[in-house]
A = this chain, B = another copy of it.
Amino acid sequence: MTDDLQTSPRWVYDFEDLAAATAAVGGDWDAVRGLLGGKGANLADMAAIGIPVPPGFTVTTEACIAYAERNELPDGLWEEVRSAVAQLEATSGKTFGGSETPLIVAVRSGAKFSMPGMMDTVLNVGLNDAVAATMIERTGDARFVNDSYRRLLQMFGSIVLGVDPSHFERVLHETRAENGVGSDNDLDAAALATLTERFRALISEFGSQPFPQDPEEQLRLATEAVFGSWHSQRAHDYREASGIDHDLGTAVNVVSMVFGNLGATSGTGVAMSRDGTTGVPVIEGDYLMNAQGEDVVDGSRPTIPLDRLATDSPECAAELGRIAKQLELHHRDMQDIEFTIEDGRLWLLQTRNGKRTAQAAVRIAVDMANEGLITREEAVQRVTPAQVDFFLHPQFSETELASRTPLAYGLNVSPGAAVGVAVFDPDIAVRWADQGRSVILVRQETKPDDVHGMLAAVGILTSSGGRTSHAALVARQFGKPAVTGAQDLVIDLQQRHLSIGNTIIEEGEWISIDGTTGTIYDGDVPTVDPDLSNDHLAMLLSWADDIRTLGVRANADDPVEAARARRHGAEGIGLCRTEHMFFAPDRLPIVQQMITAPTVGEQREAIEALLAPQRADFRGLFEVMDGLPVIIRLLDPPLHEFLPSGTELHHTISDLQIRLSHATDLATIESLVRELNETTTMLDRVDALSESNPMLGLRGVRLANRIPDLTRMQARAVVEAAVEVIRAGGNPMPEVMVPLVGIDRELKRQREIIEQVVAEVRAETGVEVHLPIGTMIEVPRAALTSKAIAAHADFISFGTNDLTQTTYAISRDDAESAFLLDYLNDGLLDANPFASIDPEGVGQLMQIGLDGARSTKPGLTAGVCGEHGGDPASIALCHEMGLDYVSCSAYRVPVARLAAAHARLA
């Protein structure tokens, strides 16, 4: 036994003894937290820098572990506790169990990682009948003493002695009833005195033993109970869910009670060293005089703003201000402080880094960097991409959401809150929007035909379609909040309403969607507007720009979007999807003409008719992006996307046939027959173009090789637009990108066609346009054979949407509604690979592609232009991989700038 004692560790550290604890674990702060727990380490740390914390000591986590092993306190521990208590008594001049100036302590759990509400705490240990009587005598506040004593009995009884808490609740209820009051706070001293007696009786009846009057026994039993609570089922479950190691154990902090409710010179409050909502560098908070901690937060009394403390207690106010600054300096971050004033003396009970809004986070980071408190790198790291994202979209007020039940959930595909009346038709959306109404366009899924309605709406909601469905893509592109794939939502176009479970929302009734979380609410939920012109944000992002090495470009298809992208800091257009131009109402008929042309000649005519509008499109882009690269991707989708769907046509034919079978007059019959023939012809064409797997079909470079005139037209439009801009004194930097290449010769052939066009235009105009020609790497074979493909490419760009689809063999839209969400729920997948690049599979393939391409052309420019370009984790991966830039929707550009800086600093 003697040997054991000699080799056993030290079990107890006084708050004033941080140095010894630090030395015991070798000086590592993380290890100190491991030994003393978070709360104990924090209190010791404050004590070490001279901040007044209530005297006390910590029983280490190692003691907890040793206790669990033998189910009894380890040898020597109690001797150390006794001596620590003696030390407390000496310091405070109070006596534990003494009736003159009694030492009352709180026994608080404190594990290395915070486990809010999971572990037990017993307050007011050291009170007993004798001490209570003396205190009443001395303070004259029988209500306070009795209340403290009944709380001890209640906590001690349930936590330490195993009395079912419902017994105490029942007696409390009876007492309130007997006294005719509704709240425990309204019980008077006498009622509370009776309560202590009844609680003691309850303990005697149901507890494992009667309530111990000996304070030391109270302390020992409470300590053991806290240690035991580490192994409670709920604590175990919490750790399981949070990934906290079960072997860490908890420390026990024995803290002298300080009382904020000892009269007018006492009080308690919370303070933030800066404004947590706005970030303004002024201490703020709430307090109450003559009150206990929970009174400030439970709303039972109206709190007083902290700036009044200068009146109530000028010295304490000054000291608190000084301490807040000191703690900020010490922790190099904004602090959230709990304090108590006991009889004019200020005690700090806790400090931690304060929670803050996105706006405050940005301002505090920037201010602190400007104050020299942290570096600019740290400031950039302190702000999360999600916080920057918040700046760009309105959000629902959190207080509002607290009181509302979501109607349903879908995919959070485009962030921000939107509130409007539900509309099921794009034309109605436009009409109502023109009338000044906010509308949410609700569709089963959207199509290119719906875009005018989507633009008119403030938000988009679909019942099917995934993270990269048409609705999602367009919404992100235009920064419209959107929720897709909300499967519980049923749209009834006959009844003109939508139903979610039992809730029916008629067209024209209010609905609210949160694209940040994917949540749908009934009615109009108030929103908080974003602060887009935030100087602090601009400064932070400029620092991010200085730090990052990864470029940030935008995906944009028209001058308006491009201008927005440039305003948001995009360094070029990484992807202009020319097909979006083809869907414009003035182009679509020509495109359909091209597709349905019965002869090559008529097809060529239609293609040529597209030249002038395409040239105008590109000119607009080049003007807006003057001096910055603009990558134009050749037409990508399969042709049938430009035609009506087969199902639609089947329905039309069915309708026409029925009408025809009932028609009697000749004119009607003739007209119906004509319409039927036209529809049937269109259906034949649609059938001929239909593919069982269009994703893997005739599109991209395959289409370009089948209809080389399309490439010629698009290349000519690009080059001629550049000539016009050059002649007007501009500096256009066009690049052309070929989609879906999987075979080096595909690119070689397209390159020949494009180079020929460049030469032709040079000959015709005498203007030399420099036109780099590159390719998407978006099918696995392109990545695998990039060595050969790069020989024909001036740049490459990873199309991670398609690459993810083919690498997983998962059709994104089908899967996100069919099984991908199940996979995420069931734990078969940790993350949605369409939201964040899968590093093991897709990422590996990208690295093979990048390395192969650069083995042929060292330093070849390579980027990413999939939807992943705006995802912070994907951006980090792209940075590590050695890519040159990411390209994302204009609205994500600020987020990407910050994330790229984070990646560099990681």
CB-CB contacts of A76-108 with B at 8 A, as 1s and 0s? 000000000000000000000000000000000
A695 B698 Cβ-Cβ under 8 A: no
Tell whether A178 is near chain B: CB-to-CB under 8 Å.
no
A828 B743 Cβ-Cβ under 8 A: yes
B814 A698 Cβ-Cβ under 8 A: yes
Are A784 and B661 CB-contacts (below 8 A) given A693-B693, A695-B693?
no
Task: For A779, give its contact among B788, B807, B844 (CB under 8 Å).
Answer: B807
The CA of A693 and the CA of B822, in the complex, are separated in Å by 19
Are A784 and B813 CB-contacts (below 8 A) given A695-B696, A828-B743?
no
B806 A809 Cβ-Cβ under 8 A: yes
Tell whether A592 is near chain B: CB-to-CB under 8 Å.
no
Tell whether A845 is near chain B: CB-to-CB under 8 Å.
yes
Give min CB distance, A783 to chain B, whole Å: 9
Give min CB distance, A772 to chain B, whole Å: 23
Residues of B within 8 A of A742 (CB): 807-810, 841
Task: For A810, give its contact among B696, B819, B829 (CB under 8 Å).
Answer: B696
The CA of A852 and the CA of B129, in the complex, are separated in Å by 73
B785 A840 Cβ-Cβ under 8 A: yes
The CA of A819 and the CA of B701, in the complex, are separated in Å by 11
Are A808 and B781 CB-contacts (below 8 A) given A653-B654, A654-B657, A696-B814?
yes
Residues of B within 8 A of A781 (CB): 807-809, 838, 840-842
A393-418 CB contacts (< 8 Å) to partner B: none
The CA of A71 and the CA of B822, in the complex, are separated in Å by 80
Give min CB distance, A511 to chain B, whole Å: 25
Residues of B within 8 A of A692 (CB): 694-695, 811, 813-814
A784 B844 Cβ-Cβ under 8 A: yes
Residues of B within 8 A of A727 (CB): none
A840 B806 Cβ-Cβ under 8 A: no
The CA of A647 and the CA of B749, in the complex, are separated in Å by 38
Give min CB distance, A829 to chain B, whole Å: 6
Residues of B within 8 A of A687 (CB): 647
Task: For A702, give its contact among B745, B778, B807, B819 (CB under 8 Å).
Answer: B819
Task: For A740, give its contact among B780, B809, B814 (CB under 8 Å).
Answer: B809
Give min CB distance, A330 to chain B, whole Å: 45
Residues of B within 8 A of A197 (CB): none
Tell whether A571 is near chain B: CB-to-CB under 8 Å.
no
Chain B, Cβ-Cβ closest to A697: B814
A705 B819 Cβ-Cβ under 8 A: yes
The CA of A691 and the CA of B813, in the complex, are separated in Å by 9
A822-871 CB contacts (< 8 Å) to partner B: 822-823, 826-829, 838, 840-842, 844-845
Tell whether A558 is near chain B: CB-to-CB under 8 Å.
no
Residues of B within 8 A of A749 (CB): 828
Tell whether A761 is near chain B: CB-to-CB under 8 Å.
no
Are A809 and B695 CB-contacts (below 8 A) given A657-B654, A780-B841, A842-B781?
yes
The CA of A742 and the CA of B788, in the complex, are separated in Å by 27
A807 B819 Cβ-Cβ under 8 A: no
The CA of A813 and the CA of B697, in the complex, are separated in Å by 9
B654 A691 Cβ-Cβ under 8 A: no
Give min CB distance, A590 to chain B, whole Å: 23
Residues of B within 8 A of A819 (CB): 698, 702, 705-706
Chain B, Cβ-Cβ closest to A689: B818
Stoichiometry, copies per complex = 2
Give min CB distance, A867 to chain B, whole Å: 17
Residues of B within 8 A of A698 (CB): 814-815, 818-819
The CA of A842 and the CA of B778, in the complex, are separated in Å by 15
The CA of A815 and the CA of B703, in the complex, are separated in Å by 12
Give min CB distance, A447 to chain B, whole Å: 13
Tell whether A23 is near chain B: CB-to-CB under 8 Å.
no
The CA of A829 and the CA of B781, in the complex, are separated in Å by 13
CB-CB contacts of A749-792 with B at 8 A, as 1s and 0s? 10000000000000000000000000000111100110010000
B784 A807 Cβ-Cβ under 8 A: yes
Tell whether A61 is near chain B: CB-to-CB under 8 Å.
no
The CA of A806 and the CA of B696, in the complex, are separated in Å by 8
Tell whether A746 is near chain B: CB-to-CB under 8 Å.
yes
Tell whether A218 is near chain B: CB-to-CB under 8 Å.
no
Give min CB distance, A704 to chain B, whole Å: 11
Residues of B within 8 A of A810 (CB): 696-697, 742
Give min CB distance, A370 to chain B, whole Å: 47
Tell whether A805 is near chain B: CB-to-CB under 8 Å.
yes
Residues of B within 8 A of A740 (CB): 809
The CA of A743 and the CA of B809, in the complex, are separated in Å by 11
A806 B780 Cβ-Cβ under 8 A: yes
Question: A742, A781, A785, A829 — which one has the most chain B CB atoms within 10 A of its CB?
Answer: A781
CB-CB contacts of A641-659 with B at 8 A, as 1s and 0s? 0000011001001100110
Are A780 and B802 CB-contacts (below 8 A) given A692-B695, A785-B841?
no
Chain B, Cβ-Cβ closest to A654: B654
Give min CB distance, A292 to chain B, whole Å: 50
B815 A697 Cβ-Cβ under 8 A: yes
Give min CB distance, A778 to chain B, whole Å: 8
CB-CB contacts of A574-596 with B at 8 A, as 1s and 0s? 00000000000000000000000
Tell whether A662 is near chain B: CB-to-CB under 8 Å.
yes
B826 A705 Cβ-Cβ under 8 A: yes
Give min CB distance, A359 to chain B, whole Å: 40
A691 B818 Cβ-Cβ under 8 A: yes
Give min CB distance, A893 to chain B, whole Å: 29
B788 A822 Cβ-Cβ under 8 A: no
The CA of A829 and the CA of B829, in the complex, are separated in Å by 37
A654 B650 Cβ-Cβ under 8 A: yes
Task: For A745, give its contact among B650, B691, B827 (CB under 8 Å).
Answer: B827
The CA of A767 and the CA of B814, in the complex, are separated in Å by 43
Give min CB distance, A154 to chain B, whole Å: 47
B828 A784 Cβ-Cβ under 8 A: no
Residues of B within 8 A of A705 (CB): 819, 822-823, 826, 828
The CA of A326 and the CA of B785, in the complex, are separated in Å by 51
CB-CB contacts of A47-91 with B at 8 A, as 1s and 0s? 000000000000000000000000000000000000000000000
Are A809 and B828 CB-contacts (below 8 A) given A658-B661, A692-B814?
no
The CA of A698 and the CA of B657, in the complex, are separated in Å by 35
Question: A749, A802, A805, A809 — which one has the most chain B CB atoms within 10 A of its CB?
Answer: A809
A645-699 CB contacts (< 8 Å) to partner B: 646-647, 650, 653-654, 657-658, 661-662, 687, 691-698
Question: A805, A818, A842 — which one has the most chain B CB atoms within 10 A of its CB?
Answer: A818
Chain B, Cβ-Cβ closest to A778: B809
Question: A646, A745, A815, A828 — which one has the most chain B CB atoms within 10 A of its CB?
Answer: A828
Chain B, Cβ-Cβ closest to A746: B828
Chain B, Cβ-Cβ closest to A702: B819
B809 A779 Cβ-Cβ under 8 A: yes
Residues of B within 8 A of A806 (CB): 696, 780, 806-807, 809
The CA of A697 and the CA of B743, in the complex, are separated in Å by 25
Known: A743-B828, A779-B809, A781-B841. 6 other contacts (CB 8 A): A654-B657, A658-B661, A692-B694, A692-B811, A695-B811, A780-B808
Listed by A's residue number, 26 A-B pairs whose Cβ atoms lie within 8 Å are A647-B687, A650-B654, A654-B654, A654-B657, A657-B658, A658-B661, A661-B661, A691-B818, A693-B696, A696-B814, A697-B810, A698-B815, A702-B819, A740-B809, A742-B807, A742-B809, A743-B828, A743-B829, A746-B828, A779-B808, A780-B780, A780-B806, A780-B807, A780-B809, A781-B841, A806-B809
Q: Which 5 A-B residue pairings sit nearest by Cβ, starting from the closest? A: A696-B811, A693-B811, A781-B841, A779-B809, A691-B814
Contact surface of A with B, Cβ cutoff 8 Å: 646-647, 650, 653-654, 657-658, 661-662, 687, 691-698, 702, 705-706, 740, 742-743, 745-746, 749, 778-781, 784-785, 788, 802, 805-811, 813-815, 818-819, 822-823, 826-829, 838, 840-842, 844-845
